[in-house]
Each structure stands twice: as C-alpha cells, then as structure tokens.
Structure 1
C-alpha cells in the first residue's frame, strides 16, 4: 500500500500543544534529563554509500538506536523520561516548589518516588524503558505483558526490578488489564499511545524521542531530502516529523511513514481520513510495530506533517536485517532488530516500485535518512532470522 497525504490538515501548522511539546523547547528539556544519565552518549550515525549507490540515491544515513542508554532501542528515550518527569512533578507537589532534573537523586525526591508505582503494557521495549526509569528514580514499576511476549524479553524487563504480570491473550488484553489494575491500585499508567482524555503522559514519551532527531541533525553532513520512519501507534514517526517541521520549516524533508502490512493502522486511518481501529490479523515479525489503532496525538501530527504512508511485508523486514548484517561495498555492518529496519525496508520497496519512486521524487540527488529503531533486543530471535549472533555481526569480518 502507498498513499500520499490528502488529509485536509496536510501541511497545516501543528496543534499549539504539540508544537510546544515537540519543538526546540521540548528537546531542551530532554537534554537536561539526559545530562543526568551516566551512560548517555549520542548514538552513531552511519553512512551507507555502497547501498546508496546500489539503490540509486545520492546518500543514505542510518541513525543506530541499538546503542541507546543500554536498552538497545529508541524507546529508552521515551518511557524512562516520562517517568522522571512524573516523579519530579509529584515531588514538586509534595515539597511545595518546582523540582529540577538536577535534583532527581536527592533524598527528598527519592523519598517521594518511593511511594509512586508506574505501570504499562508492553511488547518489550517500552516496558524496559519504563522499568529502567522507575529504577533510576527510586519508584516501583508493574509491567504487563501478553502471552506472545517472549521469555527473553520478559527477563530483560525484570532485570530492572519491575514486577512482571503475564496476561493471557493479545497486547490489547494486556492494555485493558493494566488499566484495570492500575485504577484499582492507584498506579500511574505510562503509555506510549494516547486516547481521548489521556494525552499528557504519551506526549512526554514522544518528547523524549526528540533528542534522537536533534542529535541526527547535528551529525548529518547535509539536511536530508527524504526521511522514512516506521510506525506502530505512530509515536516515534510523529515525534520525528513534528521536530523536523518545527525546526526546519520550509527546508524540511519529505516524510514517509512505514508500517507492517499486517498491522497498518495508520495507513488505514489515512485511507478513511480519521483514526480507526483495525482488526487483528496474522502476527507480524515486526513485533514492536504490531499495533491496531494509532495514538490520537500521533494522528494529529502525522495528518499535518507526513507526506506519504506505505506498508512493507514480512520478507522485506527480514531481508533488511540480513542486508545490514552482511553489507557490501565497504558499508559498516549494523545490527537491526525485527522492527528496527522497517524504515529502510520502506526505502528499498519505494526504489523498487517505479510508481512510488516517481511519486516521492527519489533519485540520484536524494539524501535519505532512516532510523534503526532497535538492535537485537531478542538475540535468539535475531540469530534465528539472520543466521548470525548479534555479537558476530558487530565484530565484523574476521
């Protein structure tokens, strides 16, 4: 599926609340938080001139979030940041004064945090981030996972001291159960998707992602002409699209949203013209993108700031994992998880489809930017799909 944006709001200014949250001021707030993280460092930006030449584009750069804050995913920037902001706000109410990021490890703040429990449903990466953030601040975390989440992903979350709660059924079942129990227990839900009446916390999660875009703009040798970013509920795509629009204005690149064909809730919303919930189908290998209803904030942004929407198939995602693991023409090897390379898969599909290539004006003068949103967060699954262990890929040719 390929759809150009024909929504009435296309290219209209962002909602003021979204602009305030996802622009320069929002990125400044995230920088202040990251300055307090001992293991923070900008993630690598890789140039892939060999693959660019093979595809017929002028340049291709990949931002590699597999190195983010020890979690191996861009989501390390979202949930943990939102938890920090929530705890500081609660401390401010308890202490009767504003509490700054620099105070996050102060005894008075941690005493307040000890009485806070955050909760979320997750397929893996978001839950790890929320659990890490809770541990960092001294709060408790309860993480709900559905029956399809692998034991390896559950163990990776539990390492941060979170209470793990298994829920029979689908991701949606785990969301419903997390919401029910949190209301009963007085816990705070930290979700990366929004719905009517619940926007502040998902907006903070999205604000965390702006750090990734700011870093990339500083690292890129030239501004990109095209950006392909994958979507589940749409949060990261919307955060990237919004920040690019707010910072670059008329110089902003074309922005293309990429989804799994088996879970294309954003594309279906574009087709209908409003956010919709789609039916569950066969699971996608791109498990971190397996979402069936877009975030309302993400939809509000993408209907204005995205230029096109497209889907990729299962084999596209696996092919990109393998292509990045076994580069040619001297390109660096990159470990991309099942969902990590979906944006790049969109570019490959676009270049192989004349109608899409023409519609997006892709060619030798194009400078393309994509994000590897996750590394091998499930190493066993990665090795199964690629035929190599992640460490072997990172080590490069013998």
Structure 2
C-alpha cells in the first residue's frame, strides 16, 4: 500500500536552532488574540474539523495522526481565508487613520460605515491562488478595490475564483517570485497597498497580520487537544503558515511544544536550503511543483526569524508522493474519515508516510510507536478539475 513512499529518498537536514524570543516578539500573543476575536465574529465562522486518522496511524506504527482540515474554511477552500482577509481589514483600518484621520474600528469596516472611503483604496498582492482568493474576498467584504497578480502556471479555475469576488486578476510571465516583484513595483507606482503573506526590507506589518490571522486555526487545535502532540509537520512555501503555527504552539505549550519539522517540495525548497546554509537562501524555480501553493523560491525573512529558532528539521519531498497521499485521504483505510485534500495540503502526510518506511529517518526524527503527529491540511480542492484528475488517475 505504501510502496510508492519508499521508492524515492527524502532529503533531510537537522537544524541547530538559534536561541531567542521570536515566537513571542514577531507575533505577540495579543496579536493572535486580537485576530481571533475579530475573525470569529465574521459571518460563516465555524471551527474546521480536526480529524484523528487512527487506522492510518496504526498502519504506520504511530500512536496518533491528527489532521486539521482547512478545506471548509469560510467556503474559500483553505487556511489562507484567515490571513489575507484579516490583513486587508488591518491595512484599511490604518489607511483610514493615516489618510482620512478616521479612527475606524474593524466592526465599523464590517458594517460599511466607511465604504465611501475604502472604495478609493486599492489592495494588491501576488498569489499562487489561495492567498489571492482570501484577499479578494476580504477586499469585497470591507469595500476596497483589489488587484491580484498571478504567474503563468496558476490555473484558470483559481483565477476565476478570485474574479468571482471582484478582483482584477493580472497574469504575468514568470513564476510566483516574479509576480511578487511585479505586484510590488506596480503598487509603488500607483499608490496601491500591498497585502502580502511574505515580507521584505521595511515591509513587515501586513505579513505579520496575515500570520496573526492564521492563529485562529492553531487556537482551534489547542482547544481540542488535551496535550501537545510530539511532532508537527508543517508546509514550507515562504514560511508564513509554519512560522505562525509553531509560534502559537510555543506560546501555548512552552517547552512541551511539539518538535517542528518543515516539509517542502524538492522543486521549491528555499527553507531547506536556508537551514543548510543557516541563512536566508533563495532557490530558482526551474520546474513548477504539483504542490502549487508551495512553489516559492524566496523565503519570508519575517517567517524565517521564527523558524530559525523553532524548527528542528527540514525535509524536501518529491512530487510523486502527492497523488497517492491525496487518494489515501479521499479513499481512506479502515474507519478513517474521507477527506478532500488539495495538492499542498498533503505535504506533511506524504512525508509522515515516507518517514515511517525508513527506520533510519524515524530514529533521526524521534518518531516511534508513541509519536503523536499533527498535520495541517491546508486546503481542499481549490482547483476541482485538477483534483478530480489526480484522484481518478
């Protein structure tokens, strides 16, 4: 059943973590609390499910696998619904103060009290799909204009989803990192406001707000679990999801927080390379990974400041693991629940299965029969046609 997961090697590097307080200082506990208080008031808010994959855990000689399914989040299909929309509201709130001298609350924005002012403000970002959908939804919710830049490989179905929330979607040549640069340049030239999930020099507040929004998901997890898991496997990308989750877990559980393992595609492993060199390192995307949401060549400095202190291990996995992992969730073994999971959602699951087939790697990562693994199922079928093709293939 798991033969494919032992057919290719996982790249692994252990990391000599730095000592510091980034988990408290980059995203303060109050920032997480404020984001949760706001987002939980939004129409349609319900906690997403935290599944226990008991049969799969037994098959892999593990005690437990917990899978947080973000597919149902606000009907947008991914955890990014929490970050982009919340950061959009915070940007608009600050701009109402700076430009119009209006001390607007977030509830004022939600009510449309300042719609005549917010509709003069343009929010912009680059995306592989999910962040852009969240930003477009948030801009529509809070009454702002929105422009989204996508690269050549972003599917048209994902582009249509963003347009359905009123966004002007601009497709560029190149990859995700090119779209980030073009969005930034055009925003500077036109007086637009970038709402990005990655950071750069002198640009940290919106990415911090994005990561604070993600804390809603982690808060839901910690409310359901009576004790911390032993390990958490987190998707890479630019690092925002991973940094948010491990910071929030550390704030909750302190020294008992789970061992943090970062998982990336071999084709886009900038965090893995950064860990090897112990400094921020970009990689060239020569070929797009099937894990579209993780196809990022440049790590976020803000996220890295947390990960360099909290992450113990970094893994790169091949694309061939992804379809089998998606199918395993769609058609589970035993009494495990069936779950619709997109390509980027299953990175941690695929790595967990592959690790379990490799005794050397199990030992290196401290994974054994008592291990309790937490996974973030970051998206559902955000491209339904692609999902159906993969599952039926």
- Scaled by the length of structure 1, the TM-score of the pair is 0.93
1:208-227 paired onto structure 2 within 5 Å: 208-227=213-232
> Which of the numbers 318, 338, 344 marks the counterpart of 2:343?
338
Superposition pairs for residues 95-114 of structure 1, below 5 Å?
96=101, 98-114=103-119
What is the match of residue 150 of structure 1?
Answer: 155
The CA deviation at 1:232 is 0.5
Q: Where does 1:270-281 land on structure 2 (aligned, <5 Å)?
A: 270-281=275-286
C-alpha contact 2:151 2:176 (8 A) present in aligned 1: yes
- The equivalent residue for 2:35 is 30
The corresponding residue for 1:13 is 20
1:20 Cα deviation from its structure 2 partner: 4.3
In structure 1, the partner of 2:306 is: 301
Give secondary structure in 2 for the equivalent of 1:242. helix
Matched with 2:176 is: 171
Aligned-pair Cα RMSD in Å = 1.5
Please give the residue correspondences for 1:78-97 in structure 2 after superposition, counting only pairs within 5 Å.
78-93=83-98, 96=101
Per-residue deviation, 1:94: 5.2
SS of 2:45's equivalent? coil
Q: Would you say how many aligned residue pairs link Structure 1 and Structure 2? A: 383
Partner of 1:353: 358
C-alpha distance in 1 between matches for 2:98 and 2:176: 34
Kindly indicate whether the alpha-carbon contact (under 8 Å) linking 1:119 and 1:182 is maintained by their aligned counterparts in 2: yes
Question: Which whole-Å CA distance do the structure 1 matches of 2:238 and 2:299 have between them?
Answer: 4
Structure 2 residues without counterparts, runs of 5 or longer: 1-10
Larger mean CA deviation between 110-119 and 70-79 belongs to 110-119
The 2-side partners of 1:360 and 1:116 are apart by 48
Distance 1:83 1:99 in 2: 14
What CA deviation, in whole Å up to 9, does each residue of 1:5-45 have, x standing for no partner?
Answer: 124x1xx2223xx6245343122111222133101110001
Tell me how far apart the structure 2 counterparts of residues 14 and 321 of structure 1 sit (CA, whole Å). Answer: 36
Moved more, 60-69 or 91-100: 91-100
CA displacement, residues 30-85 of structure 1 (integer Å, 9 cap, x when unaligned) = 12221331011100011110001001111111000001111110111111110011
Q: Distance in 1 between matches of 2:228 and 2:137?
A: 33
Report if aligned partners of 1:21, 1:204 keep a CA contact under 8 Å in 2: no
1:281-310 Cα shifts (integer Å, max 9, x gaps) = 221100110011110011111010011111
- Correspondent of 1:137 among 126, 135, 142: 142
Could you tell which deviates more after superposition, 310-319 or 165-174? Answer: 165-174
Aligned residue in 1 for 2:3: none
Which residue matches 1:117? 122
Q: How far apart in 1 are the matches of 2:384 and 2:221?
A: 26
Whether 2:269 is the aligned partner of 1:264: answer yes
